[in-house]
Structure 1
Amino acid sequence: MQSLLADVRGRPSSSPRSAAASAPPSGGHRPEIDGLRAVAVLLVAAYHVWFGRVSGGVDVFLLVSGFLITGSLVRSVERTGGVGAAAFLGRLCARLMPAAALVLAAVLAATRLLLPEDRWRDTLAETVAAAGYHLNWHLALDSVDYLSRSGAVSPLQHFWSLSVQGQFYPLWLLLVAAAAWAAARAGRGVRTGAAVAVLAVFAASLAYSVYMTRTDQPWAYFDTGARLWELALGGLLFLVLPRLDPPRAVRVVLGWLGLAALVGCGVLLQVSTEFPGYIALWPTLAAAAVIVAGTSGSPWGADRLLTLRPMRYLGSLSYALYLWHWPVLVFYLHATGRTLASWHGGLAVLVLSLLLAAATTPLADRVAAFAKRRPKEGEPQEGRRRRPRRLPAPARAAAVGLACLLPVVLAAGGWAARMDAEQRAREALASDPEVYPGAAALADGAPVPEAPVYPDPSEAAEDIPVTYDDGCNQTTKASEVITCVYGSDRPERTVALVGGSHATHWFPALEAIAAEHDWRIVNIVKGACLFTDAPQTYKGEPYPSCAEWNRGVMDELAELRPDAVFTTGTTTSRDATAGFGGEQVVDGYVDRWRELDAMGVRVVAVRDTPRLGFDAVECLASGAPGECTAPAEESLAPVSPLDGAAGLPGNVEVLDLNDLLCSGGECPSVIGNVLVYWDGSHIAATYMRTMAPVLEERMLAATGW
């Protein structure tokens, strides 16, 4: 990212300019940008380390990248008639990839040594995504995944902005090349053509960003399309800057106003939850004001601060400092068990990150210089003829950059392959019901031999109902009713599984029962959405898509007319307002059941499952199974609220299988050597399948089927 600037801005001058703020058409070094980058990276790091907030500094980097890349490409067209695609991309690879590869390799090593096994797979997947410059899309998908185990922060999450820029570079190369060609055909200059093209991208991306931020902000935050306008704004700034020549006094004011607005952005705005819509104009226009102010030549100008030697040096390290500060912080927080760094701990994080950046930057520069090295002058011709043919300089630069990333990708892939092989071996072992009885250990009381927990904590996130992989569970954002059918084509019975994720985790057991009795299971679920017409919330906010989905579900059931609807009859929580735990029959449940009764549809209302109050996988990864238990009373009522509940319609059959999840008042994370929970409240698919025989017996007895 920022380390590219040394190549695209031209050679630095020996002293700060005191002339016009705008760069000459031929290009030239702008020393205040070095200082601006230093301010931006300090804001990013300080806000991350001490405040757990986002500062808007990344938005400054996006604008500066757009400014400099547009300038580099436009000047190339003006000098040579073309964008110089090969040289441009080769230079990018040689400048950006060595430092990124070093940080990725260090994160892999630290993950193996310091993080619990349940974090390994995520880090491996993110390493490959970061090396391929598409981590932003990986994180965007996680941001809309209701079941994503997002409590643990990724040490590579900050690579999302590098991925956005990695996608921007080839796109901008094509855009400027097309604009130059069109401008030449129309008899116009390349800057005119580029201005039209960049302005169009800016307008379209900003409109899309405003829309997406309003409708799906977590996705928009990582979406390249919603971020592209920030880079385009930098491009527009480069193209209009030669026409701007504000008086010195105006430059002084612009410089300080820009810096003040930039520093205050993270304090006054919730960047992580409000960006990147029009509100992101705050830090980007603040940075633009600093660039327009340029080097004012005034002793009172902000550029006097920005062009100080320490600031310019820090600016030269900003790319590497950005790369290092986040993983250093994440590993520090994991080691100390903190959510925010202490003042002295945060200072140590910044100092270590700065030292690593200071060591990484010259190393990456040497790699880039090696990629550009030419044969020595005076080498004998016959000696040259015996030397292997050298790649062209652009190809050599790209090859060097890619060669740095290749070992990292191979290491991540090899590690993942080894984990896959270990998983297959565990699956073979787990097929023995005497060693891995799961729920049968409580149902039958048979002794259980010691054996490793299955599935392994590192694989627990994959032990979920197949309906998630099949795309059959509606997300928290959408309201459309998705129905997926499993089981017999000519069913004896049709059972509709309806509700939220705590209904979903019964699917593996129902699927096993359906296979035995020629049933059909119709999956109709939505994340965090209970089967009721009562108003609901999600993450403390109104949940209108849930209400709309519920209305659609009733229409679907009226048409489907299943033999039974299987759904949760109570809802548990860690909120103690109910007296003992937070278990209750939610408002609207009984009304829904009455509506089904009027349709002639039976209801199987299963008591909700207990909640641990901690992540079972993280607990098991760092401790013994016996330490990972929770008192039943913290989420369950002493007696099921469904027992003897008044007003239940005659179509309701009540089931309670929590005796297969808790024993002696304690709810463990492992039963019969099988992992019970894959997080803090959702039952793992493997364990749920071991509950199938008991669920089958009790369900058939209750329904008389």
Structure 2
Amino acid sequence: MPPPTCPPGTARTRPVEVGTGGHRPGIDGLRAVAVLLVAAYHIWLGRVSGGVDVFLMLTGLLVTASLLRAATGGGVRYGAFLARLAVRLLPTAAVVAVFTLVGTWLFLPQTRWREAPDGAVAALLGHTNWRLALNAVDYLARDGVPDPFQHFWSLSVQWQFYLLWPALVAGTALLARRAGRDPRRPLFWALTAVFALSLAYSVALTRENQPWAYFDTGARLWELALGGLLALLLPGLRPGRAVRALLGWAGLAALVLCGVLLQVSTAFPGYAALWPTLAAAAVIVAGSPGAPNTPAGPTTAPPTGADRLLSSRPLRYLGSISYALYLWHWPILVFYLAATERDLATPVGGAAVLAASVLAAAATTPLADRVAALGRGSGPGRGRGPGRRAALRGTAVAMAFLLPALGAAGAWTGAQAAERARWDTLLADGHSYPGAAVTRGVTAPPGLPVYPPPALAAEDAPATYADGCNQTTADAEVIVCEYGSDRPVRTVALVGGSHAAHWFPALEALALEHDWRLLNIVKGACLFTDAPQTYKGEPYTSCARWNRGVMAELRRLRPDTVFTTGTTTSLDSSAGFGEEQVVEGYVERWRELGELGIDVVAVRDTPRFGFDVPECLARAAPSDPVGQADPGACTTAPGDSLAPRSPLKGAALPANVTALDLTDVFCDADLCRPVIGNLLVYWDASHIGATFMRTLAPELDRRWTRAAPRRR
């Protein structure tokens, strides 16, 4: 996200200063190039450009220079510093957040409504990056329509930087003054330490868990520290004309090509992010005016240098509105793509998105400037009393924008809670929503709205996710959670990946009915086998470690039965298998359990739809409360993911294994339907909802008893 157009505490009419190098009009142009790269790559290429890394570096440069001037002058006033930033940044952010909430309601499917209030709150309170980091490593996170608030992650990183940096600069300056030294040298070494430690952490974390690292402030801090180091070094850098021309154009070319030559979204922010940040640093050094009255002074800029282009009036203007342009372009693009049902913009449509974003930024930036001026007030603002009054005034103005936006998000959250309560009442009668009971001849009353509604479908996951009992794809620790009876007559362990996990609600119902203890031992996307597995095309090493730990736990716990998936379906060939099968290593693992005296129930995997079922229903029949106006719109054929005959039939299974197949509950001969007995079966593209699964418990009990009566 672009840094503030001016260093904190300066008016818009005051020239930007870096170190002691004088006015830097080229920085506005560099901002313009960076924000245009971000927007263009998002709009037409669906990629990440590296432009955000430039913004982070520029933020470090400008803020470090501003804080250093304050520290060597009257001192850094922490409250006033944050108040000036808040009044400068929050009004535009609040307006964009409210616009995004309204646009989500108007243009996005109901399946995206539940997340919108949380997205707005995270954006405005500065923790979007951590929200996205948690989502990035969530195996069950939704694909499809992008989060219209996700671009606020870089603003969140910057807010966390703003909280830390004044203390670092002011503390270093204070220690230097007490030692009678110039604060620049100790500050240089302090920033060097931050740069080195953060970069090392970034490289290691990117290698180990890149999705998390992308949003981790600690893994990004080195980019801001690099800007701070450049602010300290720039006054002493006086390259000649030829060097400046070469640096400028080479840096600008490298910056433009970064997103083409590197896969930024999967390689950053490790050492690969040095490319755009160093490229931008080269451009800044190329435009360095040097010391006054020297051959490298302001009057000797190379006539063919990149800084001449960056100092042009159009680019300087775009740079001046770059903060607002960055905030506006993403939600406008998301709503355009949702309305046109496209993954990428057309040339004309993309141009319209960019034009609309520029117009919105051009309209909101002057208003934000006036609000910022109001927050600063008039007068010199010097002295402790006036400084405190200015901080309070700025905070009050910022809150005048922040609180209504948070109120709008809170009101939507309240409306969703009321809707959930209404649905709970509707569901409680026990007859209107028989779900899987229709397979036993129970009739579902016609004309009722489907439950859960698409907007609330994502909340219908098994309770084990909210309880923190299902291991993520990133970690290998074995988590064992106990449910069911306190005085069990039998212990059943549910083991496997997420397609084992969605049987939990049915098993919990049986555990409570039959006085079982139910152990939940689940890890996302991890099959219960020693065979090598992949996740998103990469070796799934944490799964292998988890599997070894699971066997150690089962040897210790010795449950009576392990309930797990006996086959695996997939629509994704990158997972290592392209059709339903008994995966390599399953039978060997079951035989190993038999040697421990543990029975195994191997249930056939459930069909996959290949698309988000609730989102499809929301799009296909928005005016139909039942969501079945077109029965073929959101169905799938059994053969799309299932074998014609269960691979468990005829397989040489160990004597301790009972095979179950409940496919006929989900599918008839031709179709697998998204709604059965007025209940929405799936809460995403392939995972069964908890409400429907609970209605399946009696049928699971009947078939289990019939298949293995003596083991029950």
Scaled by the length of structure 2, what TM-score is found? 0.93
- Look up the match of 1:319: 323
* Alpha carbons of structure 1 residues 71 and 655: separation in structure 2 relative to 1, 3 Å: same
- State how far apart, in whole Å, the 1-side matches of 2:614 and 2:314 are: 46
Q: Does 1:469 align with 2:466?
A: yes
Aligned 8 A contact 1:140 1:223 in 2: yes
Deviation at 1:447, TM superposition (A): 4.1
| One-letter code aligned to 2:700 | L
- State how far apart, in whole Å, the 1-side matches of 2:612 and 2:572 are: 17
- Look up the match of 2:524: 527
- Look up the match of 2:593: 596
5 Å matches for 1:251-650?
A: 251-294=244-287, 295=289, 297-374=301-378, 392-574=389-571, 582-622=579-619, 623=621, 624-625=627-628, 626=631, 627-645=633-651, 647-650=652-655
- Look up the match of 1:386: none
- Look up the match of 1:32: 26
- State how far apart, in whole Å, the 1-side matches of 2:546 and 2:70 are: 55
- State how far apart, in whole Å, the 2-side matches of 1:675 and 1:447 are: 13
Deviation at 1:244, TM superposition (A): 1.4
Deviations 1:43-92, CA, capped at 9 Å, x for gaps: 11111111111111000000000000000010012221x11223321211
- State how far apart, in whole Å, the 2-side matches of 1:472 and 1:333 are: 36
Deviation at 1:192, TM superposition (A): 2.2
- State how far apart, in whole Å, the 1-side matches of 2:14 and 2:230 are: 25
Q: Does 1:654 align with 2:659?
A: yes
- State how far apart, in whole Å, the 1-side matches of 2:634 and 2:529 are: 33
- Look up the match of 2:128: 135
Deviation at 1:24, TM superposition (A): 5.5
Aligned residues: CA RMSD: 2.1
- Look up the match of 1:57: 51
Deviation at 1:174, TM superposition (A): 1.0
3-state SS in 1 of match to 2:562: strand
Aligned 8 A contact 2:494 2:518 in 1: yes
Deviation at 1:282, TM superposition (A): 0.7
- State how far apart, in whole Å, the 2-side matches of 1:447 and 1:288 are: 67
Q: Does 1:249 align with 2:255?
A: no
| One-letter code aligned to 2:4 | L
Q: 1:699 aligns with which of 684, 694, 704?
A: 704
Aligned 8 A contact 1:3 1:316 in 2: no
- State how far apart, in whole Å, the 2-side matches of 1:199 and 1:470 are: 42
3-state SS in 2 of match to 1:261: helix
- State how far apart, in whole Å, the 2-side matches of 1:123 and 1:668 are: 28
- State how far apart, in whole Å, the 2-side matches of 1:548 and 1:291 are: 48
3-state SS in 1 of match to 2:602: strand
| One-letter code aligned to 2:668 | S
3-state SS in 2 of match to 1:6: coil
5 Å matches for 1:171-182?
A: 171-182=164-175
Aligned 8 A contact 1:474 1:480 in 2: yes
Aligned 8 A contact 2:53 2:273 in 1: yes
- Look up the match of 1:680: 685
Q: Which runs of 5+ in 2 are unaligned?
A: 290-299, 381-385, 622-626
Deviations 1:350-405, CA, capped at 9 Å, x for gaps: 111111111111111111122223399xxxxxxxxxxxx99812211121112111
Deviation at 1:527, TM superposition (A): 0.8
- Look up the match of 2:101: 108
- State how far apart, in whole Å, the 1-side matches of 2:570 and 2:549 are: 27
3-state SS in 2 of match to 1:567: strand
- State how far apart, in whole Å, the 2-side matches of 1:576 and 1:533 are: 20
Aligned 8 A contact 1:252 1:293 in 2: yes
- Look up the match of 1:5: 5
5 Å matches for 1:135-284?
A: 135-284=128-277
- State how far apart, in whole Å, the 1-side matches of 2:10 and 2:572 are: 61
- State how far apart, in whole Å, the 2-side matches of 1:395 and 1:450 are: 57
| One-letter code aligned to 1:108 | L
- State how far apart, in whole Å, the 1-side matches of 2:708 and 2:480 are: 24
| One-letter code aligned to 2:178 | R
| One-letter code aligned to 1:493 | R
| One-letter code aligned to 2:503 | W
3-state SS in 2 of match to 1:629: coil
* Alpha carbons of structure 1 residues 478 and 662: separation in structure 2 relative to 1, 3 Å: same
Count of paired positions: 683
3-state SS in 2 of match to 1:667: coil
- State how far apart, in whole Å, the 2-side matches of 1:545 and 1:595 are: 21
Q: Which runs of 5+ in 1 are unaligned?
A: 17-21, 377-388
- State how far apart, in whole Å, the 2-side matches of 1:6 and 1:479 are: 46
* Alpha carbons of structure 1 residues 313 and 185: separation in structure 2 relative to 1, 3 Å: same
* Alpha carbons of structure 1 residues 15 and 554: separation in structure 2 relative to 1, 3 Å: closer
Deviation at 1:644, TM superposition (A): 2.2
* Alpha carbons of structure 1 residues 332 and 223: separation in structure 2 relative to 1, 3 Å: same
Aligned 8 A contact 1:581 1:637 in 2: no
- State how far apart, in whole Å, the 2-side matches of 1:394 and 1:200 are: 32
Deviation at 1:562, TM superposition (A): 1.2
Q: Does 1:74 align with 2:68?
A: yes
- State how far apart, in whole Å, the 2-side matches of 1:186 and 1:194 are: 13
| One-letter code aligned to 2:95 | L
Aligned-pair identity (%): 63
3-state SS in 1 of match to 2:5: helix
Aligned 8 A contact 1:499 1:526 in 2: yes
| One-letter code aligned to 1:50 | W
| One-letter code aligned to 2:76 | V
- State how far apart, in whole Å, the 2-side matches of 1:24 and 1:615 are: 53
Aligned 8 A contact 1:10 1:28 in 2: no
